[in-house]
Amino acid sequence: MEETIQHRVVAWWASGRTGIAKSSSAPNAIHFTAPPEFGGVEGRWTPEDLFLGAVASCYTTTFRALAEHSKFEYTDLEVTAEGVVRREDPGYAFSEIVVGANLIISGDEEEKAFRLLQKTEELCLVSRAISVPQRFEPQVQIHKGVPVG
């Protein structure tokens, strides 16, 4: 594998109360909105859902890779990620994320299963990235023409 891998997602506001996000690695766009508590549309993914989805799917794919590398067979794995958002100053923030993993195995390798789940927690790229500093690079462009909106 290469030393670095670049990922890119572009999001833009479509109209009204919804937006669209597109990944360079997937053919389908995702429609998103703010949470209904903040005026968003029911039935759409929110940034908070996408964030927790990233956490849960990262644990799932990391475990699969570790199990495959360790030649560990399992029947099923269900990972849940639940986040608590609290009002802070300023704004809101996740105060807790609880990740649950329900692993189903058919053999008697319970100890190995727990070791692999622990290793998954240590190696999950998304969970490790949560504490990484972010760099924000805003730009403003002036459009001289017909106003949009």
pLDDT confidence tier of residue 139, bands split at 50, 70 and 90: confident
Cβ(79)–Cβ(116) below 8 Å: no
Look at residue 48 in the predicted model and tell me its pLDDT. Answer: 95
* pLDDT given for residue 117 in this prediction: 95
Average pLDDT in the 26-30 region? 93
Cβ–Cβ < 8 Å for 126, 55: yes
Is the whole model's pTM more than 0.75, yes or no? yes
pLDDT tens sequence across 33-50: 999 999 999 999 999 999
Topology annotation, domain 1-45? N-terminal domain of TfIIb (2.20.25)
Query: What integer is the mean pLDDT of 1-22?
Result: 89
% of the chain surpassing 90 pLDDT: 70
Domain 46-131 has CATH 3.30.300.20: yes
Q: Distance (Å, rounded) from C-alpha 110 to C-alpha 103?
A: 10
- Integer angstrom CA distances of residue 69 from 52, 63, 66, 72, 102: 26, 10, 5, 8, 20
Domain range summary for the chain, segments of one domain joined by +? 1-45, 46-131
Q: What is the pLDDT of residues 114-125, one digit of tens each?
A: 999 999 999 999
What is the per-residue pLDDT for 76?
A: 94
Confidence check: pLDDT of 10 > 70: yes
